[in-house]
Amino acid sequence: MSPLKITTRDAATGPVLELCGELDYANVAELHAALADLSLRPGQCLVLDMSGLEFCDSSGITALIAARGNAQDVQADVALAAVPPTMLRVLRIVGLDQIFTIHPDTESATGS
């Protein structure tokens, strides 16, 4: 089991969270805490860079949906970047590729 490491940085479009390791029931609280520490403003886009994500279970997917809801509450958005192929397949199966903007990499998500 790989612990979840979250690195936060700012981009012109809003905050970027780089997720590395496993996003599962055992450590999803770390993502909730990182998201709670953010102050999204209207018009910003939170980018979740998933290039280092090794695994994501249903609690991780639920956290992504919650992040989107919280962003929408303040008129902001959430985009996913560099989603690993196995996770992208899951997102497509459950239809979340229809509600999240998905970018091939962080650069295209942030315009930098």
pLDDT 10s digits, 32-72: 999 999 989 999 999 999 999 999 999 999 999 999 999 99
Measured CA to CA, the distance from residue 91 to residue 101 in angstroms comes to 11
CATH 3.30.70.270 fits 5-110, yes or no: no
Measured CA to CA, the distance from residue 3 to residue 30 in angstroms comes to 10
pLDDT reported for residue 78: 97
Which SS3 state, helix, strand or coil, does residue 47 take?
Answer: strand
Confidence of residue 112 (pLDDT cuts 50, 70, 90): confident
Instruction: Taking each helix axis as running N to C, give the angle between helix 28-37 and helix 58-73, from 0 to 180 degrees, rounded to the nearest 10.
Output: 10
pLDDT 10s digits, 2-35: 799 999 999 999 999 999 999 999 999 999 999 9
Give the ranges where the chain is alpha helix by DSSP (H). 28-37, 58-73, 85-93, 106-110
Domain boundaries, given as residue ranges, for the chain: 5-110
pTM for the model stands at 0.95
C-alpha pair distances (Å), 31 with each of 53, 98, 103, 111: 12, 22, 20, 24
pLDDT reported for residue 36: 93
pLDDT reported for residue 1: 62
Dihedral Cα 73, 19, 48, 65, nearest 10 deg: -40
